[in-house]
A = this chain, B = another copy of it.
Amino acid sequence: MDAIDRTLLALLQEDATQAYSALGKAVGLSAGAAHERVRKLRDAGVIRRTTIDVDPAAVGGGVLGFVMVESSAWMGESGGRFAAIPEIQEAHVIAGSASVLVKVRTATTEQLQDVLRRLYEIEGVSGTQATVALETFFERPVAVNRVNTSAT
């Protein structure tokens, strides 16, 4: 994991369709060498997968909400219950008064309310505190150009 690897990651985050020859040129390497580096990053799990970025509004996810879920019980094993709600894009166990923070995308605020209803059906959930996003400044991939602390 040196500076070249991080540059490759940043370039692929921007556009994963570009050819290895272009990647190699950008970092001063041959296409084969760039290819080999990317293969190793994949094997090491640094690159989890190649995917597409879909416009949420185009697939019925124009309303973005965050919900603080309060609980009266240990929620550490409840991940599957949250994952069963497709509108939930992320779910994190958090420190603090609430127990779980979820990120929700729906087409309408009515559907967001319905997600709250389904959240209450999960055992241990004792309350929710929902916030609607009025505007998204940005959503971007993890920054890779930073002093590294862990990893190979």
Contacts and interface: CB of A to CB of B under 8 A. Distances in A.
A15 B51 contact: yes
Interface string A72-111: 0000101100110011011111111010110001011000
B46 A54 contact: yes
Contacts of A149: 60, 62, 107-108
Contacts of A16: 16, 49-52
Majority SS at the chain A contact face: mixed
Copies in the complex: 2
A96 to B, nearest CB: 5
A139 B50 CA distance: 15
A52 B47 contact: yes
Nearest to A90: B139
Contact of A143 (B61, B136, B139, B146): B61
Given A45-B58, A66-B101, 18 more contacts: A45-B55, A47-B52, A47-B55, A48-B55, A51-B51, A54-B144, A60-B147, A61-B146, A66-B94, A79-B138, A82-B138, A86-B145, A89-B142, A90-B136, A90-B137, A92-B133, A92-B134, A107-B146
